[in-house]
Copies of this chain bind each other. A is one copy, B any other.
Amino acid sequence: MSSIEHSPLARKLSAFAVLSEDELAVLTRLHQRRKTFAAGTDLVHQGQPRQAAYILASGWACSYKIQPEGSRQIVDFQIPGDFLGLRSVLLRTSDHSIEPVVKIEAVEVIASDLLGALADTPRLAAAILWAASRDEAMVVEHLVGLGRRDADARMAHFLLELGARLAFVGLGSKEGYACPLTQYHLADALGLTAVHVNRVLRQLRERELVTFREGYVKFGDIDRLMELADFDPAYLDQTGPLLK
């Protein structure tokens, strides 16, 4: 039984502010109802009201929107310690769906508990809002990539960001990281087709910049990769070494 202060969320929030006993206790109270979801079974549903939020304990998920004509755009991926569906808690109808990429464990967070925690523990409130701001900053950087980067730079940037985020919660290093995504996931996230994703990955591999293979991302030349991607991690608001 792991204690709360070693949960991925507590670890992430600690980078913003050291949490007291009381604040950790509130976090624990939020961590009741742990549930398991199989890959592909949505836990938040676009267009439906009163959706709950979750904290992802293990596995990967993605938030996405489906267009009326059928295509889908992945907005972001979530890794352990991330919130799921926070934005849809206050909206009358959820604007997006969330789907586990692999089997996940997540704890449900009730809207009233969350608002209560915000009102009762100012420092924890600030830490949670910081995490939410950081998530939004990642969405914004993703938007910039779709608007202003070509396919190569977009892919490079994406793989670097995931590396930095994973390293931040102890799941990756500057060597690389385990990554359960398919090339279809990458395509849906990067606004490309799976066919083109495959060509881009081949090219990055042949240039010995990164290798995406068998569920693992391995960095070849991370400095040249960062240059190709114009990767400036300031928006992640992580202090200390970016990838270690």
Contacts and interface: CB of A to CB of B under 8 A. Distances in A.
Interface in A97-152: 115, 118-119, 122, 125-126, 129-130, 133-134, 136-137, 139-144, 146-148
A73 B125 contact: no
Given A118-B118, A237-B91, A239-B92, A65 B144 contact: yes
A95 B126 CA distance: 18
Interface in A187-204: 190-191
Contacts of A125: 115, 118-119
Contacts of A122: 115, 119
Interface residues of A, number: 47
Contact of A143 (B67, B90, B139): B139
Interface stretch (A27-35, A175-183, A228-236): A228-236
A3 interface: no
Contact of A75 (B68, B87, B140, B232): B140
A73 B146 CA distance: 10
Contacts of A139: 136, 139-140, 143
Nearest to A147: B191
Given A95-B234, A143-B75, A234-B95, A126 B90 contact: yes
Interface of A: 47, 65, 67-69, 71-73, 75, 87-93, 95-96, 115, 118-119, 122, 125-126, 129-130, 133-134, 136-137, 139-144, 146-148, 190-191, 230, 232, 234-235, 237, 239
